[in-house]
Amino acid sequence: MPNTQPLDLALCDALLQRYQPDIDAMTGKGWDHSNSAILSGMAKAFVRHHKPEHLEYIRRFVDRFVAEDGSVSHLSDTLDEMHPGVLCLFMFEQTGQEKYRQAARIMRDHFLGTPDKPSAFRRTTEGGYWHKNMEKYRNVMTVDGIYMIYPFLAQYAARFGDDEALATVVRQILMISERSFNTTSGLPYHAWHAEKNFPWANPITGTSSQFWSRASGWFAMGLVDVLDAMPADHAGRATLLFLLRSLAEGVARHQHADGLWYQVLDHAGKAGNFPESSATGMLVYALQKGVRTGLLPQQYASNASRGWQALQTHIAYFSDGGPQVRSVAPAMGVQVDYAAYIGIRPVEVPCAQGVQHPHGYIGALMAAAEMA
């Protein structure tokens, strides 16, 4: 029988039913955004519904990597694996246990470095952090990287008064935005290459060629979460707020008549392009939260509502009675052109067999929790 609970609650309960002992049973990615972004959505649902089993599920994952002294195992040198820092802050807020505060501090220092130990992360000659420390991402900055690290640093800075962390947040967001944000469309290109010679990079500007929907979704969520954590009088706030509002105007303009956002945002009616549920959920979250917190004008609530209603038409029920999110782009890196982005066809989450892609859960949970 289909689940009649609120969608955020139904999704959380389904996650507990499907993936035990913790969320990594689905992804196998460990201390990575693939797991922590889902659990961030669950954390938002917990704040609303206060189901202790949801908090315990988050704690069980975090405690696999955070020891009693706060040390964090499996720290890496990619932005994707910094996102779980938000869970350390959440667990500290919920429990007051010192080990979670210490873990957040260790992750902050791992990224920014200390006088005794420099950062493990590589940067471009201008100081922009690579998305991943590997040849495929050599001197590459991405707009999705904003969500992976900077909401954590902004929240850390707000809680513990860390001016250096917040200055880094503003500087890095502006650095990638100056290089990737297209003011004509109001949308960000997926990535930028400092050397401008990768196959996907424009040889003049260094940008990738397409406005990939989920990259814009990560970007939008990152901006609204950072701004929500920033002090109202911070010197960088006005510029980031202008950026968020420019982005909101762009994504609203490129919302399809059916209420959804499509895999390549500015080609919604083009053959082969498809509605993309994870990005739709992320953009719904960002627009609605932006309106609720006063960052965005009220007009964008209608875009969020249309997107939310449309997203729900792409959520069915799986054989176990829990929600199944349809039309989700699988995980992907920067693609060379439009054909490559639409050539990676959408999947369902969960599916009966094979790889289970977490991004559908992420978008749907974030939207459901915010629209509630």
Give tens-digit pLDDT for 3-40. 578 999 999 999 999 999 999 999 999 999 999 999 99
pTM above 0.95, yes or no: yes
Locus of tokens 């590459």: 140
pLDDT in tens, 283-306: 999 999 999 999 999 999 999 999
pLDDT in tens, 64-117: 999 999 999 999 999 999 999 999 999 999 999 999 999 999 999 999 999 999
pLDDT at 2 exceeding the cut of 90: no
Q: What was the pLDDT predicted at 1?
A: 42
Q: What was the pLDDT predicted at 167?
A: 98
How far is the C-alpha of 131 from the C-alpha of 140, rounded, in Å?
6
In percent, the amount of the chain with pLDDT more than 70 equals 99
Mean pLDDT in residue range 304-312:
98
pLDDT in tens, 314-345: 999 999 999 999 999 999 999 999 999 999 99
Radius of gyration of the chain, Cα coordinates, nearest whole angstrom: 19
Whether residue 73 contacts residue 67, with contact meaning beta carbons closer than 8 Å, is answered with yes
* Residue 269: pLDDT band with limits 50, 70, 90: confident
Q: What was the pLDDT predicted at 4?
A: 73
pLDDT in tens, 205-245: 999 999 999 999 999 999 999 999 999 999 999 999 999 99
Domains in the chain with CATH codes? 7-371 (1.50.10.10)
In our burial notation (b when 16+ CB lie closer than 10 A, e otherwise), range 228-237 reads: bbbeeebebb
pLDDT in tens, 183-213: 999 999 999 999 999 999 999 999 999 999 9
In our burial notation (b when 16+ CB lie closer than 10 A, e otherwise), range 112-136 reads: eeeeeeeeebeebeeebbbbbeeee
Question: Residue 275 forms beta bridges with which residues?
Answer: 262
